[in-house]
Structure 1
Amino acid sequence: MLVKQLLSMKESSGKPGIAAATIVTIKPDATMADAARLLSEQRIGAVVVSSDGKTPVGILSERDIVRQLAKSGAEMLSTKIADVMTTEVQTCTTGEDALAILERMTEGRFRHLPVVNAEGHMLGVVSIGDAVSGRLKELSAEKEALTGMIMGS
């Protein structure tokens, strides 16, 4: 299964309260309080940081917020996202294998991956949950095909 198929599955299923094709972004000069509010409102685990809404310059997850809270206390709410975000953003393209990106996310211990085109503009975001779901669908189809061959249908 390819990443473009994962994006298609997201579009067909949708997420309550957010259109599947929407890429939630926040500007680097926003505060951690802004980010926490956005994550809560959108019911998502990470937000892509982008100055123009097209090109990722960072990513901020719930874990980043919790770590900063433990380190600095409530005053961290006024901290700029640019000071906390992960700046080495891993990305993928629509033509990559979903299993390969699942392995990359597992090894890198991150859960969200912006999907970009050749110009580096975002086309969507896939989560580790999307990749696992895609893999389970793939395995189910393989099981059905093998069962069909064994049963002679």
Structure 2
Amino acid sequence: MLVNQILALKNGSDKPGVNATAIMTIQPDATVADAARLLAEYRIGAVVVSTDGQTPAGILSERDIVRQIGKNGPGILDQPVSSIMTTSVQTCTVAENALTVLQRMTQGRFRHLPVVDDNGHMLGVVSIGDAVSGRLQELAAEREALTGMIMGN
């Protein structure tokens, strides 16, 4: 299954508020507390940091915030997002497949991947859960096809 199919599945889901093309972004100078509120309000695990809303400058996850609070205390909530965001943002394209995306996420130990076009502009965000769901649907379709072949359907 390709990333563009995963994004289409997200748009076709019955989950309220799920829109694959709605990319939550935050400015680098916003506070970590602002980011935490955004993550909680939209029930998402990461927010893309961007100055223009189109190009990723960084990414900030719930885990990043928790780790920094554990390391530096709650005062980190008053710091700018840019002080703790991951700046080496991994991205993918709509032509990549779910298995490749899952392998990159697993190897890199991250759970969210902005999807970009050839100009580096964001088209959506794929989570590890989205990629796993896409891969499971792909495997189910393969199983059904093989069963049909064996049964002569």
TM bracket (short chain): over 0.9
Aligned residues: 153
Cα deviations across residues 13-59 of structure 1 (Å, max 9, x unaligned)? 15423534210000000001000000000000000000000000000
Residues 1:14 and 1:113: Cα distance change in structure 2 (over 3 Å):
farther
Q: Which runs of 5+ in 1 are unaligned?
A: none
Matches within 5 A, 1:1-153: 1-13=1-13, 15-153=15-153
Partners of 1:111 and 1:127 within 8 A in 2: yes
Residues 1:86 and 1:135: Cα distance change in structure 2 (over 3 Å):
same
Cα deviations across residues 132-153 of structure 1 (Å, max 9, x unaligned)? 0000000000100111111111
Task: Give the TM-score taking structure 2 as reference length.
Answer: 0.97
Partners of 1:26 and 1:48 within 8 A in 2: yes
Q: Please provide the CA RMSD for this pair.
A: 1.0
Look up the SS of the partner of 1:48 in the other structure: strand
Look up the SS of the partner of 1:35 in the other structure: helix
Q: Which runs of 5+ in 2 are unaligned?
A: none
Cα deviations across residues 51-97 of structure 1 (Å, max 9, x unaligned)? 00000000000010001101111111101110100000000000111
Question: 2-side partners of 1:61 and 1:132: how far apart?
Answer: 19
Residues 1:31 and 1:14: Cα distance change in structure 2 (over 3 Å):
farther
- Percent of counterpart pairs with the same letter? 69
Partners of 2:10 and 2:18 within 8 A in 1: no
Q: 1:42 corresponds to which letter in structure 2?
A: Y
Question: 1-side partners of 2:73 and 2:109: how far apart?
Answer: 25
Task: Give the TM-score taking structure 1 as reference length.
Answer: 0.97
Question: 1-side partners of 2:81 and 2:102: how far apart?
Answer: 26
Question: 1-side partners of 2:24 and 2:81: how far apart?
Answer: 15
Partners of 1:102 and 1:128 within 8 A in 2: yes
Q: 1:95 corresponds to which letter in structure 2?
A: A
Question: 1-side partners of 2:101 and 2:48: how far apart?
Answer: 18
Partners of 2:11 and 2:18 within 8 A in 1: no
Question: 2-side partners of 1:18 and 1:151: how far apart?
Answer: 38
Partners of 2:58 and 2:85 within 8 A in 1: yes
Runs in 1 of length 4+ with deviation above 6 angstroms? none
